[in-house]
Amino acid sequence: MASSESKASSDLRVEDVGKLEEKGAANVPALDAHYDPAFVARTIRRVDLRMLPLLGFLYAVALIDRTNLGIARIAGMEVDLKLYIGERYSIASMIYFVPYTLLQLPGNIVLRYLGARDWLTICVVGWGAAQLGMAFVPAWGYLVLCRIFLGVFEAGFFPALVFIITTWYKRHEVQKRLAVFYLTSMIVGAFSSIFAYVLTLLKGKGGLNGWQWIFAIEGIITIVLGILTWLFVPDFPDKSRFLNAEERKMILDRVEADRGDSIPDEMTRAKFIKHLTDPLVWAFAYMFLASTVPAYAIGFFITIILFSMGFNLTEALLLSAPPAIVAAASVFFFAWLSDKTKKRAIWLAVQNLICITGLIVTGYAKANAGRYVGLFLTNIGASGCVPGVLAYSSNNITSHTKRSVQTACIIAAGGIGGIIATSIFSQKDYPRYIPGTWATVGIQFGMIITLGITTFVLSRRNRLRREGKIGPLEGTEDFYYTI
């Protein structure tokens, strides 16, 4: 049932929770047991349709805007801005992740004060403006400055998305939803290279080069999406207004029955320090870092790798789409499998092994066909781990304050993963990037080891709780960790 922390922090109350606690959870039905299944399914479907397509498309645009540097590079930006000098391209790619990493946690704190609609609108419009500015930079230094602003405004966006989505559903409904919004972004992102190619055909129009048109059009699209965000994005369940009172209460009752944190609790200094010093938070953070390194490497370098195989600009852009499309199908398959079996760690480890195989094949295969297959496997293995780790971590916490801190730390670790990916795949190692490949393989093995440790620790805690040897897990009665 609900933790005492969450109940002490808000004027809002879920009806009858206190009565159920007095009677004892073993003697009463679940808080949400009396709801008509058809009513529940219909309401959840409304939530899905209101939230997932828009958030998925927004995240797709975020990924495109942060990684389209690779496409712009081979579309003329490298020559115009002299990115071939030293490590300019890697620095321009990497610098985005510094503010992106540092501002994750402050962003999630601001989120609860401003609300989802206002905060997400600020983030989307802000990074759209930075993207638009990149179309008109006269020199490499200005490009770096725009990338910094891109990181500043995107920093609050992704953790806010994950935070919001995980507050609406039961634990074993989460990964499919995260996968849907993530694979939406992957499918849109897969065709972004084709869209970018079409934009390069505008070369010479308005005195702009092809790469400038990529940033200009995509920046304008992002700003327009920011306006739509303000009009349509849902807020947290307790603040949402697109549901009626009965529907909203049902959503809160389901969450309360599942993990006891439907009521937002107040952040205090003691809670902040407690959450921040939980070793599990950092274990999940490392897993997310390990997942994002190959994901970002593919995002930034797939067109460059294809270009190095001898394909021309058009072929490289077109061939970058199929690996992402296949990976999108794989993301949903593993999410479905994970939710169905209610297991997280084992399927993450399987995807790690697929990713490792793909990295080695891409790095060492002699024929272009073999290297291309390796790109498919790397994409499949890395992509599914991103929503997988988010689901694994969100399933094993309660309270809004811990969810806020943990989500921000995990996404910040993903930013560090981006810094690593853009640093270890160095220009001097072109075209096969062998040192970067082995560094990424090592990080994947590190994740497998971490999965083994968390599986042991969480399983042991569950066993001790069932035997009555320790108190309620995460301060919540009838809560057990998802392994």
In a domain, 40, yes or no: no
Q: Rounded CA gap, 104 and 108, in Å?
A: 7
pLDDT at 468 over 70: yes
Residue 402, both tokens? 């811990």
Name the residue with tokens 């321009």: 92
Contacts of 2 (CB under 8 A, 6+ apart): 14, 17, 21, 256, 260, 261, 262, 263, 476
In a domain, 45, yes or no: no
Mean pLDDT score of the chain: 86
Residue 262: the pLDDT is 64
Using the 8-state DSSP alphabet, how is residue 266 labeled? Answer: P
pTM of the model: 0.74
Residue 419: the pLDDT is 86
Split into its structural domains, the chain has a count of: 1
pLDDT at 128 over 90: yes
Residue 345 contacts residue 483 (beta carbons within 8 Å): yes
Domain that holds residue 307: 51-262+271-468
Q: Rounded CA gap, 186 and 192, in Å?
A: 9
Residue 375: the pLDDT is 96
Query: What are the distances in angstroms from CA 339 to CA 66, 176, 196, 210, 335?
Result: 30, 7, 35, 44, 6
Rg (CA), the chain: 23
Residue 56: the pLDDT is 82
| pLDDT category of residue 223 using cuts at 50, 70 and 90 | very high
Q: Rounded CA gap, 483 and 480, in Å?
A: 9
Instruction: Give the model confidence (pLDDT) of 68-87 as tens digits.
Output: 887 888 889 999 999 888 88
Q: Rounded CA gap, 467 and 463, in Å?
A: 6
Q: Rounded CA gap, 301 and 309, in Å?
A: 12
In a domain, 479, yes or no: no
CATH classification at residue 189: 1.20.1250.20
Burial code (b: 16+ CB inside 10 Å, e: under 16) for 185-196 equals bbbbbbebbebb
Listing DSSP states for 292-339 in one string gives HHHHHHHHHHHHHHHHHTT--HHHHHHHTHHHHHHHHHHHHHHHHHHH
Contacts of 73 (CB under 8 A, 6+ apart): 83, 89, 211, 304
- Cα dihedral: 174, 417, 315, 211 (round 10): 110
In a domain, 21, yes or no: no
Closest-CA residue to 131 (of 196, 207, 212): 212
In a domain, 291, yes or no: yes
Contacts of 240 (CB under 8 A, 6+ apart): 234, 248
Query: What are the distances in angstroms from CA 455 to CA 390, 392, 474?
Result: 16, 11, 16
Residue 242: the pLDDT is 87
Instruction: Give the model confidence (pLDDT) of 354-392 as tens digits.
Output: 999 999 999 999 999 999 999 999 999 998 898 899 889
Instruction: Give the model confidence (pLDDT) of 255-312 as tens digits.
Output: 888 877 666 778 888 888 998 999 999 999 999 999 999 998 887 788 889 988 999 8
Q: Rounded CA gap, 148 and 63, in Å?
A: 15
Listing DSSP states for 152-196 in one string gives HHHTTHHHHHHHHHHTTS-GGGHHHHHHHHHHHHHHHHHHHHHHH
pLDDT at 218 over 80: yes
pLDDT at 22 over 60: no
Instruction: Give the model confidence (pLDDT) of 433-449 as tens digits.
Output: 999 999 999 999 999 99
Interior CA angle at 436 toward 432 and 437, to 5°? Answer: 70
In a domain, 13, yes or no: no
In a domain, 474, yes or no: no
In a domain, 7, yes or no: no
pLDDT at 3 over 60: no
Q: Rounded CA gap, 418 and 412, in Å?
A: 10
